[in-house]
Amino acid sequence: MASAGTSTGSPDTPRAVANKSDKRTLVRAIRMALGLESVAVRRNTQNFNRNRYRVTAEVADYDALKDEARAIKERSIAGLPDLLNALEKAVRARGGQFYLASTAADACRYMLGVCQAHNAKLVVKGKSITSEEIRLNHTLEGAGIEVAESDLAEFILQVADEQPSHIVAPALHYTTERIAALFKRKFSTDAKLETGEELTKFARERLREKFLHADVGITGANIIAADTGTIMLVESEGNIRMTCLLPPVHIAIAGVEKVIPSRQDIGPFIELLALSATGQRLSSYTSIISPPLDDPPFALSGRPRKRREFHLVLIDNGRMKMRQDPVLQETLYCIRCSACMNSCANFQTVGGHAFGGETYSGGIGGAWEAGTGRLENARFSDLCTGCSRCVTNCPVRIDIPWLNEVLRDRLNRASAGSPLASLLGLASAVRGDDRRASAQKIFFANYHWYASWGARTAGFSNRLARSPFVRRVMQALVGVDSRRELPPFPARTLVRAAQEAPPRPRGGAFPGRAAKVVLFADVYTNYGPAGRGLATLKVLRALGADVVVSDAVPEGRAALSQGMLATARKHARRTATLLMPYLEEGRDVVVVEPSALAMFRRDYRHLLADEARFELLRTRSFEPVEFAARLLARSERTARYIFDVSRSPVGTRLFYHSHCQQKTLGCAAPTEALLREIGFDVATSNVECCGMAGSFGYKKEYYDLSMAVAADLYLQVQAAEQAAAGGARAIIASGTSCSEQLQAGLGRPVMHPIELLAAILKV
């Protein structure tokens, strides 16, 4: 087959775009996925996502379970060599064989040897993504052994010759219609193949014969207990139980990271895995077995009854090196549940054939591809916007955005750089190591630098930014999509406006010690919708707080999200130094832009060497409405005493979209609660992210994806306005770039909740 390329005009296939070590292939893959796979991916991942939220809410000690699972994984990876020794003893003591394979080829060679020793003609296989990693089928089939994939999703992929698009449901990019078309093309059959029932029946009947006649069964393993050699196998179809039970030889393969100390440690994992994966309370079948099983293997009439044999094959293939890597090490805690990808707005829209490599996909996928292959294979992790929605949904609390930021940093350093990038980097004082990043990345990492120039000449720069010629130049040079309107610079920055409008004396409504606050002039608010900062001043002062405004310095989010860590660290240090004196004089920090706030509460853990400073910032920084609600709670006053809903300039019906980072920080709820308490009728979005995600949606490669993600949000606005008690709603959003995205799609003004609160103050 001719290679599918854009030049020939032939459509791309998933295989043709599996390896995304160059960025052009990533862009082609996004186009392919948006065209072909988005409908099924969106439906299936969002279904898993909804179910997970529903069932985890039933588990009272969900957070404690996550802590426990995390602690077990930390212990296991730290003590892995000892665990492997113990496991080998346990497996052998039960009469099984144990093999530790150093590479993919080594693992394949061993398993082929086992099959050949039994003169195997037919191998039946349960789902194992690790077997995809090592291309096991290729080896076995190359030696003339038939491999029957018994998981229906893997069966589809085998027929279609595609790589998995998801680690739990590897064919979730297929609609029923596409499967029917595929089967009709590949099988000559008179069977009616249209509905899910018919397709399932067709596959079941073919595979039933394979189970009964297979010489060898191969499965993965979700968890392995070192003390007893017990493996946990999770599935819904029953094919894995068949694979373990019927053939005389059972081979289980898994990465070495699956080993935990004891069978008792399985407790939290059996409870977390199904919840986090498909959002089921428990999957249809969860086997907890210490093979070889006692049951005699199956032998249909005429076939000899053989002795049962078991091989546990553990695969290193780069994992022991990941274990030594201070950052990638965390990847090994992954239990491959897929919660990170199901809760990811980009993944929900394109799936793992765009947001994924040859085997692994989604937020955690880049680290797996880099760890078990080459760094360049992780290029697709550029689709991680750092929105952080996966972080609270990961059952072992992996900081997935951080993994991707570090991978991006390493990819930047490994690239050749360009003269334009160097020039931009020099001009904007980017740290030397970071100047190898692309001009696009350097441009976005330095928003504050050109924004400060733009704001000085706001009238002129805003006219310039609207010029089609300038937009085309920006697209060509630094990859800003020309279809995007650039947010206007304010006539007066927040810092200047605050200086010009000194605080009026505080009213007497709030006796007692005044709360002391420094409003951090984040660069997005300061050089953008500065009115949000002024509204924050007004509301907090009306609530009796003593508020001052800091200088505007970049806090590092922009550099961090481009993977320019040296620059991000520099910005973090400078910001912490700026804020320390305020904290020391007893001021809490309030930040308007949630992604900047998230730096203080989450990301500075990685960027500030000084842990005490991070702790101080983490515990004493707040979102404006969150802080206002705290002040209210401390006062004796009700919300309606301070705010009067009838003064609202936009009516009482609102549609509120909270920012992704804000949700992760747990400070979306206070805004919703306060608005309702005041008397607003609030409909909310439940999308994970708007798709803009700071700079992501501005990039020319990702504009289409960004708008496709936003389609869900626009639909939710529409649905809320067309609901039974319908009618227009004012659009309210807390993020700077979310507001841009909402404006772009709806063509309507967007207000920040703090601006609304400022407008309805009674005092």
**Strands (DSSP E) along 464-559, which ranges?**
516-520, 546-549
Give how far Cα 296 sits from Cα of 121, 143, 288, 310, 444, Å. 20, 28, 18, 13, 64
Q: Give the chain's end-to-end CA distance (angstroms, integer).
A: 74
In degrees and rounded to multiples of 5, residue 381 shows phi and psi of -70, 0
Is residue 690 within 8 Å of 713, Cβ to Cβ? yes
Is the N-terminal amide bond of 292 cis, ω within 30° of 0? yes
Under the binding rule (CB under 8 A), the answer on residue 298 touching another protein is yes
CB of 44 to another protein, least distance (A): 7
Contact with another protein (CB under 8 A) among 300, 416, 609, 612: 300
State the nearest-atom distance from the C-beta of 32 to another protein, in Å.
21
Q: List Cα–Cα distances, 228 to 84, 315, 351, 729, in angstroms.
A: 12, 19, 37, 60
Count CB atoms within 10 A of the CB of residue 477.
13
For residue 339, the minimal CB distance to another protein (Å) is 17
Of 60 and 416, which CB lies nearer to another protein in the complex structure? 60
- Can you tell me which of 13, 51, 97, 280 binds another protein, judged by CB under 8 A? 280
10 close to 2: Cβ distance less than 8 angstroms: yes
C-alpha–C-alpha distance, residues 333 and 328, integer Å: 10
Distance CA(506)–CA(534), nearest Å, equals 16
Assess contact for 126 and 150: CB atoms under 8 A.
yes
Q: Give the binding range for another protein (CB under 8 A) out of 276-284, 411-419, 451-459, 583-591.
A: 276-284
User: From the CB of 278, what's the least distance to another protein, in Å?
Assistant: 8
Nearer to another protein, 263 or 436 (CB): 263
Other Cβ atoms less than 10 A from the Cβ of 664: the count is: 22
Helix (H, G, I), strand (E, B) or coil at 289: strand
| Residue 251 near residue 147, CB atoms below 8 Å | no
* Contact track, another protein, 54-73, x by CB under 8 A: ----x-xx------------
Say which residues have a Cβ less than 8 Å from residue 203's Cβ, sequence separation at least 6. Answer: 152, 155
- Name the residue nearer to another protein (CB basis): 150 or 664: 150
**Contact between 208 and another protein per CB under 8 A:** yes
Nearer to another protein, 53 or 453 (CB): 53
DSSP conformation class of 601: I
Residue 209's SS3 state is helix
Is 204 near another protein (CB under 8 A)?
Answer: yes
Query: How long is the chain?
Result: 763
Which one, of 598, 606, 534, lies nearest residue 563 by Cα?
606
Contact (Cβ atoms closer than 8 angstroms) between residue 269 and residue 329: no
Pick between residue 242 and residue 607 the one whose CB is nearest to another protein.
242
Residue 295 DSSP label: S
Distance CA 341, CA 475 (A): 30
Residue number with CB closer to another protein (176 or 475): 176
Provide the 10 A C-beta neighbour count for residue 113: 12
Both tokens assigned to 140 = 């076995």
Decide: is 282 part of the binding site for another protein (CB under 8 A).
yes
Site for another protein (CB under 8 A): which residue of 163, 287, 377, 428? 287
The residue among 284 and 718 lying less far from another protein, judged by its C-beta, is: 284
Type and span of the H or E element at 202: helix 196-213
Stretch that binds another protein, among 197-205, 336-344, 412-420, 677-685 (CB under 8 A): 197-205
| Interface with another protein in residues 84-113 (CB under 8 A) | none
Of 84, 129, 207, 592, the one binding another protein by CB under 8 A: 207
State yes or no: residue 156 binds another protein (CB under 8 A).
yes
CB of 287 to another protein, least distance (A): 5
Contact with another protein (CB under 8 A): which of 32, 36, 203, 350? Answer: 203
Number of residues that bind another protein (CB under 8 A): 60
User: Of 70-78, 297-305, 661-669, 688-696, which segment contacts another protein by CB under 8 A?
Assistant: 297-305
**Least distance from C-beta 248 to another protein, angstroms?**
12
Minimal distance, residue 176 CB to another protein, in Å: 3
Name the token pair of 143.
């030696």
Site for another protein in 216-275 (CB under 8 A): 236-239, 241-242, 245, 263-268, 270-271
The minimum distance between CB 87 and another protein, in angstroms, equals 17
- By CB under 8 A, is residue 200 in contact with another protein? yes
Options 16, 159, 293, 746; binder of another protein; rule CB under 8 A: 293
176 makes contact with another protein (CB under 8 A)? yes
Query: Closer CB to another protein, residue 69 or residue 101?
Result: 69
Site residues, another protein (CB under 8 A): 44, 58, 60-61, 150-153, 156, 169, 171-172, 174-176, 179, 195-197, 199-200, 203-204, 207-208, 211-212, 236-239, 241-242, 245, 263-268, 270-271, 280-290, 293-295, 298-301
